[in-house]
Structure 1
Amino acid sequence: MQTYLGLDLGTSSLKALLIDENQAPIGTASVPLTVERPHFGWSEQDPKSWISATEAVLDQLKAAHPAELAAVAGIGLSGHMHGATILGEGDEVLRPCIMWNDTRSHEEAKELDTEEARAITGNIVFPGFTAPKLLWVKRHEPELFAKVKRVLLPKDYLRLWLTGEAVSEMSDSAGTSWLDTGKRDWSPVMLAKTDLPLSAMPRLVEGTESSGGLRAELASKWGIKAGVAVAGGGGDNAASACGVGVVAPGTGFLSLGTSGVLFTSSAGYDPRPETALHTFCHAIPGLWHQMGVTLSAAGSLEWLSKLLEEKPGDLTARLGDTLEGPSRLVFLPYLSGERTPHNDAAIRGVFAGLEADTDRAAMVKAVLEGVAFSMRDCVEAGGGTETVDKLIAVGAGSRSRYWLKLMATVLETEIVLPQSGDFGAAFGAARLGLCAATGADPLSVLTVPPLADRFQPEESLIGPFRDAYRRYRALYPAVKSVLQG
């Protein structure tokens, strides 16, 4: 028997998932992590806590599944992206990791976000990306910057501890603003903009390749064979795509969590930075992916739930299972600003068309439609509905059949729902570990999980929802002119 281990370094927890050679889950363990916010807009985490958490989850798996853990033949890594883990001589940590949701470097991001930068990286330079954080450190912590010898992404610091190798992979590195995303290699031009040499960057591999072997000291501690392959792995969204089998062009996943993500795979490199769409390398060799983000998806429903003092599931249950035509009430879900396609941190949400007989069911319906239209914005930013053949629904919002029927109709594409199970980033990381250990064809490993249901667009309602989407699109500039002048 051979088993495979996925380690997913999340913002709030580190999760380990052990699977067998048939990809069936054996055991899982999770340890919480904390985020420090010493100043407004700052978000930091101690890299040492990632090591402690990894030791804890492996201790738990060894206690519960000693034989299966001893049979690990490959390890895969996933992690939150964009974090700046800054190391000095001897790879000591110089300061807490500056996290993906840290906004202190907004001025540096504006400075780096030139046409040249967009042409090289395929993306807007957002404050959350890694490069502007190092420019901030250079300006505000110059003595520390002078000691910088290496910068690693969070999961790659974990890899350094596991293998002794400073390595990253393409999907995570594409979110730094240092990668030439089309060439899948570091860009000397972008590194020079932050005064860093190429030697400060880790070696690059593909997500399915081995990045090194597990150190003997650690292998002995948990009864694992020394030298087992540690895969390149992937950034959290790319690893999640591997978990649900989104590896073929024309496929994608629709994540309805607090934020909404529309992730689609593409065989070619076709960046659209002007739409605030992320274009990153996939964790699979020769593939890229595009990712649109709406900042308040299920979060919009959670906001309404608190306002109306009723659980989200009870609110959506009021709508039943039969999809109705679009509401007269229009909702912009910009409760925390918006990413795709506006890249507008100052815009805010609005209900338009409130009437004397507007009830809670009408408000729920409008919120679900507003989020669906925001995801349609993401589809349009990626080239339109004809570019997507099928979307796999994940996240808390996918529990609502009404919402999935609505999404299928608004996005004009089939939406499929996996059976209950753990198909997230840790599972994707374990699958990548399997590929690295065995050399198996990724397409034969990264398959779509068993499906529980399928949702087709309701043909009679496509036209009405297209009209409603046009009304929705007209509302943003009107609200922007009122709020921002």
Structure 2
Amino acid sequence: MNSMYLGIDCGTQGTKALLVDGSGQVHGRGYAKHALIERPSGAREQEPQWWVDALISAVKAALSTAPDGSHVDAVGVSGQQHGLVVLDEHDAVIRPAKLWNDTETAPQNSEIIARMGGSEAFFQRFGIVPLTGYTVSKLLWLAECEPENFAKVRHVLLPHEYLNFWLTGKFAAEWGDASGTAFFDVRQRTWTRDVLDAIDGGSGQLFAALPPLVGPDAVVGTLRPEVASILGLHVDCIVAAGGGDNMMGAIGTGNVREGVVTLSLGTSATVYSYSERVPSDPTGNVAPFCSSSGGWLPLVCTMNATNVVTATAQLLGKTVLDIDCALDATAPGADGLVFLPFLNGERTPDLPDARGSLHGVSAMNFTADHLLRAAVEGVSFGVLSGLDLVLAGRDAETIYVIGGGARSRGWRQLLADATGATIQVPLEEEAGCLGAAIQAMVAKSASSVAPLTFVEVASRLVRIDEAATCSPRTELRSAYDNARAAYRGRLQQYYGI
């Protein structure tokens, strides 16, 4: 049997596993849900053990349709970005991990920026401006709110790094995921001690707790014997560097060369485009992250996406299957109904304390279909404003859409009509898993006489679902331009931006 590769994606809602061979043929899939800890303060947390348990279940399900695991040569792990996992001197988890969408640490985010001299100074020194949700504010929150736990910290890890540690027993960090910590210089690709000294008083505790950095084609190690036994894999199976879910999603959509745009509609929404040059946005709205394929990945993230649309549908006694019908039954702009969809606060624009609101309600638009359209438009217009920032005045000709929202024909068509771009959907829905598997292939080949490149493998394995392609209807562009202007007007009215 040909060599096989396992891509694992640990997201907010669950962990997925995808088993593929070198040609990209899928041999197995698995999925297991995660629980979530939420508090009115804005805290959103998960126990890292839940990720481990879900990984085991997902991998076993993926392998259940394969003859055995002896042909799996490499594993790659994609993980939700920005989460904080802290371990003590015995390598034990100290407390639940604070997640990317945790807004409880917003005051600490403002405080760390102030300690470093303000946003402009932070950007000049490190090439990035922290936003609420980045890892750095979680460390300051821990120091201020749980000093007894902070004193125990000996290892600081991101979610995918913790899973790599569980798999191999080795600590390692990769450039792409490290970019979202805000204690990493995205230009020099090194840790930045200054930021951490501003938290621990210069004791060196936090800097010493950071894992060593590795490149995107690196091998972290091989599976621990006990892990290999649990998963049904062989002990020589390597574990690649892995990375953040957005970075792996980029690889899994072929976004490893300039000119490609990926828009992800999951619990959060992200939009990004590969670049050979370091992005430069002193406002901090465009995250100048490193990619996990060697370049950079300028990215904008909004915290509210499919969760808002799903919640709206459920409130109306409908399901996501009703979205297409609602969009077909209503016109762009929802007859004046505007939904600012900030149910979780917001990261871009940086409004952690914002709340969702409906505007322009009238007897004509107070219907279930209009409300559903307004929810979809509110989410879409927010992320498309991010796309404008990423492209810096350029137009997108083709956008690859992934995530749960990509399954809606109506939503895809709305994006095509509003942008003037052709919307395409990769045939493999689990772009994070596929990207992790591709990275595993590249890492496995790195020491061979003919190492593979990300461009080479992605061009071979990433395929398009032609039936899902949506071309723009030019006659609707002006209507969507007007609807987006109304959305921006409400933002200006209520938040001054």
Deviation at 1:468, TM superposition (A): 3.6
Q: Deviations over 1:125-150 (max 9, x none)?
A: 23422222222222233333233222
| 1:176-212 deviations in Å (ceiling 9; x for gaps) | 1111012111112222222245331111112332122
1:283 Cα offset (Å): 0.8
Deviations 1:2-53 (A, max 9, x none): 1111122223323222111212111122333323347743333333333344
Partner of 2:380: 372
Give the corresponding residue for 2:394: 386
Could you tell me which residue of structure 1 aligns to residue 43 of structure 2? Answer: 42
Q: Pairwise mapping of residues 179-218 of structure 1 onto structure 2 (< 5 A)?
A: 179-195=184-200, 196-218=205-227
Deviation at 1:476, TM superposition (A): 1.4
Contact 1:385–1:411 under 8 Å retained in 2: no
State whether structure 2 residue 446 is matched by structure 1 residue 441: no
Is the 1:340–1:377 Cα contact (8 Å) retained in structure 2? no
Deviation string 1:224-257 (CA, Å, 9 cap, x unpaired) is 3433321111111211222222222221222233
Distance in 2 of aligned mates of 1:261 and 1:156: 21
SS of aligned partner of 1:246: coil
Residue 344 of structure 1 and its aligned partner are, at CA, apart by 5.1
Q: Which residue of 2 aligns with 1:265?
A: 274
Correspondence list, 1:328-407, <5 A: 328-336=335-343, 337-343=345-351, 345-352=353-360, 354-356=362-364, 359-384=367-392, 386=394, 388-407=396-415
Residues 220 and 319 of structure 1: CA distance in aligned 2, closer, same or farther (over 3 Å): closer
Counterpart Cα distance in 2 of 1:356 and 1:319? 16
Amino acid at match of 2:495: K
Find the counterpart in structure 1 of residue 96 from structure 2. 96
In 1, are the aligned partners of 2:87 and 2:94 still within 8 Å (CA)?
yes
Determine whether 1:480 maps to 2:484: no
- Structure 2 CA distance, aligned partners of 1:303 and 1:160? 36
The answer on whether the counterparts of 2:131 and 2:284 sit within 8 Å (CA) in structure 1 is no
| Count of aligned pairs | 478
Return 5+ residue gaps in structure 2 as ranges.
447-451
| TM-score of the aligned structures, taking structure 2 as reference length | 0.86
In the alignment, structure 1 residue 418 sits paired with structure 2 residue 426: yes
Counterpart for residue 465 of structure 2:
451
Structure 1 stretch 310-319 or stretch 441-450: which is displaced more? 310-319
Call closer, same or farther: CA 1:328–1:431 in 2, change over 3 Å. Answer: same
Consecutive aligned runs of 4 or more in structure 1 exceeding 6 Å deviation: none
Distance 2:370 2:53 in 1: 48
Shift of 1:435: 1.0
- Per the TM alignment, residue 59 of structure 1 is displaced from its structure 2 partner at its CA by 4.4
Contact 2:286 2:298 in 1 (8 A): yes
Instruction: Find the counterpart in structure 2 of residue 302 from structure 1.
Output: 310
Q: Tell me what 1:14 maps to.
A: 15
Q: Is the alpha carbon distance of 1:72 and 1:353 closer, same or farther for their aligned partners in structure 2, counting shifts above 3 Å?
A: same
Equivalent pair of 1:239/1:428 in contact (CA under 8 Å): yes
Is 1:155 matched with 2:160?
A: yes
Q: Are the counterparts in 1 of residues 80 and 160 from structure 2 also a CA contact under 8 Å? A: yes
Q: Give the letter aligned to residue 184 of structure 2.
A: L
Quote how far apart the aligned CAs of 1:363 are: 4.3
Deviation at 1:416, TM superposition (A): 0.9
Does 2:151 match 1:141? no
C-alpha separation in 1, matches of 2:365 and 2:173? 56
Aligned pairs (5 A) from 1:53-92: 53-61=54-62, 64-67=65-68, 69-92=69-92
Looking at structure 1, the residues matched to 266 and 58 of structure 2 have their Cα atoms a distance apart, in angstroms, of 25
Give the conservation status (yes or no) of the 8 Å contact 2:129–2:282.
Answer: yes
Query: Could you tell me how far 1:357 is from its partner in structure 2?
Result: 6.8
CA contact (8 A) 1:329 1:362 kept: no
Offset at 1:275?
A: 5.5
Asked if 1 retains the 8 angstrom alpha-carbon contact of 2:341 and 2:379, the reply is no
Question: What is aligned with 2:265?
Answer: 256
Give me the TM-score of the superposition, normalised by structure 1.
0.88
Instruction: Assess, with a 3 A threshold, how the Cα gap between structure 1 residues 387 and 216 changes in structure 2: closer, same or farther.
Output: farther
Amino acid at match of 1:454: T
User: Secondary structure, in 3 states, of the residue corresponding to 1:386?
Assistant: coil
- Counterpart position of 2:484: 469
Change (3 A) 1:46 1:352: same
Asked if 2 retains the 8 angstrom alpha-carbon contact of 1:216 and 1:227, the reply is no
- Structure 1 unmatched ranges of 5 or more: none
Distance 2:265 2:62 in 1: 30
2:101–2:303 contact (8 Å) kept in structure 1: no
Q: CA RMSD in A?
A: 2.9
| Equivalent pair of 1:5/1:430 in contact (CA under 8 Å) | yes
Which segment is superposed worse, 235-244 or 343-352?
Answer: 343-352
Aligned to 2:221, the other structure's residue is in SS state strand
Aligned to 1:112: 112
